[in-house]
C-alpha cells in the first residue's frame, strides 16, 4: 500500500519525503508548487491504538496543510478527526492527490 501511495504522489509530480514530527514518523510528506500534503498509510483502523497512532502522528503537526490517513477500510464517506481525512486507497488513487 505504501508503494502504491508513493508512486501515485510521484506520478502527480509531488516531491516526496518521509516526515518526522518529534519522535514520530509520518509516512509521506509531499510538496508541489509550494503546497504540502501529509499522508499516513494503514491497512485497517481495527482498534483504538492504531487509530491513535495514525491520526495522532498527523494531529501533532502544527500547520494547516491537508492530512490524510489512507486505508483499505470500506467507508461510506470520508471520516475526519481534527481535520484529518480518512480515505480508502482506491479513492485516493483515482483522486487528484
Assign domain 2-94 to a CATH class: alpha beta
Model confidence, pTM:
0.88
Q: Which class for 56: exposed (0-12), middle (13-18), buried (19 or more C-beta within 10 A)?
A: middle
Q: Can you tell me the distance from the alpha carbon of 63 to that of 81, in angstroms, rounded to the nearest whole number?
A: 15
| 18-44: pLDDT as tens digits | 977 677 889 999 999 999 999 999 999
b/e per residue, 19-43, with b = 16+ CB within 10 A?
Answer: bebeeeebbbbbeeeeebbbbbbbe
Segments of the chain scoring below 50 in pLDDT: none
Distance, CA of 32 to CA of 39 (rounded, Å) = 14
Q: Could you give the CA distance from residue 25 to residue 16 in angstroms, rounded to a whole number?
A: 14
pLDDT of residue 78: 56
Predicted confidence at residue 19, as pLDDT, reads 79
Domain ranges across the chain: 2-94
Amino acid at each position: 500500500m505504501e508503494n502504491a501511495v508513493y508512486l501515485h504522489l510521484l506520478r502527480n509530480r509531488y516531491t516526496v519525503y518521509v516526515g518526522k514530527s518529534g519522535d514520530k514518523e509520518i509516512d509521506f510528506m509531499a510538496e508541489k508548487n509550494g503546497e504540502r500534503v501529509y499522508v499516513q498509510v494503514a491497512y485497517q483502523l481495527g482498534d483504538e491504538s492504531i487509530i491513535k497512532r495514525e491520526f495522532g502522528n498527523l494531529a501533532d503537526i502544527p500547520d494547516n496543510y491537508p492530512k490524510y490517513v489512507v486505508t483499505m477500510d470500506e467507508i461510506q464517506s470520508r471520516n475526519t478527526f481534527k481535520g484529518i481525512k480518512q480515505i480508502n486507497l482506491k479513492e485516493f488513487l483515482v483522486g487528484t492527490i
